[in-house]
Amino acid sequence: MENLWLAALGAADRDRLKPHLETRDFVHGQVLFGEGQDVDCVWFPTTGVVSLMTLLDDDKLVETAVIGREGVVGVTCGPLNARAASRAVALTQGQAACCPARAFSEAMSASEALRLALARFTEALMAQVQQVAACNARHALDERLARWLLSLHDRVGDTRFDLTQADIAGMLGVRRATVSEVSASLEDRRLIERGRGWVRVLDRTGLKAASCGCYGQMRAVLEELDLPTPQAA
């Protein structure tokens, strides 16, 4: 597989970045960079999913965005080498093409088209963060869980995800017992299937109906900005 954001660049911009790209594997739970750290590498996932996690004052983390092969991990709306405002954690195992942040910054300085492509992506990323914040504040947990599973389904490329109840609880910022109860409700409706350490999507159409409208709104932003849209197989 390839990273869709990189693939959508013009040939000249891909050539600027290609000599600096290095393939790296990541594993479930791996921290790519932490909040407050200098980001020295830009990650372009080709497989797998990375979560951006925000640290709260009670030392708990809550997911604010997910990025797969459609996007870029390690860029913000501020200067490229600024300290990270959030923690990037691999939600699943995967692989990425990695570019030193300095080389990426130099390539952007040389190309207006590359700067525009990054601006579109960061705008979409900020829209996702804002939508997730609103969703977490207003929508019921079963709707949020359905929305979150759809986002993963788009990016993982498989109907089955290796996730524990603790993983899901941490992403959604709720207790494991609450996740178990709500997951059981979706399972009773034959929308998902669960096992020890995994979840499988059985009925994507039904899961979309069970989700809040935030899922569709986040996808619409990608389309409006003419960005690659992750799509479940």
Task: Tell me, yes or no, whether 180 and 209 share the same domain.
Answer: yes
Task: Tell me, yes or no, whether 63 and 94 share the same domain.
Answer: yes
pLDDT at 232: 67
CA 165 → CA 116, 175, 226, distances in Å? 39, 9, 35
Phi–psi pair at 226, nearest 5 degrees: 60, 45
Residue 79: give the domain boundaries: 4-135
Task: Give the integer Cα–Cα distance in Å for 160 and 153.
Answer: 8
Going by C-alpha positions, the residue among 172, 214, 175, 139 that lies closest to residue 61 is 172
Task: Give the integer Cα–Cα distance in Å for 144 and 194.
Answer: 17
Task: Tell me, yes or no, whether 16 and 81 share the same domain.
Answer: yes
Residue 53: pLDDT above 80?
A: yes
Task: Tell me, yes or no, whether 89 and 174 share the same domain.
Answer: no
Residue 231 falls inside a structural domain: no
Q: Tell me the β-bridge partners of 42.
A: 99
Residue 233: pLDDT above 80?
A: no
Q: Are strands 61-67 and 160-161 parallel, antiparallel or unpaired?
A: unpaired
pLDDT at 22: 97
Last residue of one domain, picked from the residues 103, 135, 167: 135
Task: Give the integer Cα–Cα distance in Å for 201 and 190.
Answer: 9
Task: Tell me, yes or no, whether 215 and 186 share the same domain.
Answer: yes
**Helix 112-138 / helix 141-156 crossing angle, nearest 10 deg:** 150
pLDDT at 55: 81
Q: Which two three-digit tokens encode residue 100?
A: 């030193």
Residue 80: pLDDT above 80?
A: no
Q: Could you read off the pLDDT of 175-231 as tens digits, one per residue?
A: 888 888 999 999 999 999 999 889 999 999 999 999 999 999 998 898 888 888 877
Least confident of 58-72, 101-115, 120-134, 188-202: 58-72
Total number of domains in the chain: 2
Q: What is the percent of the chain with per-residue pLDDT over 70, rounded to a whole number?
A: 95
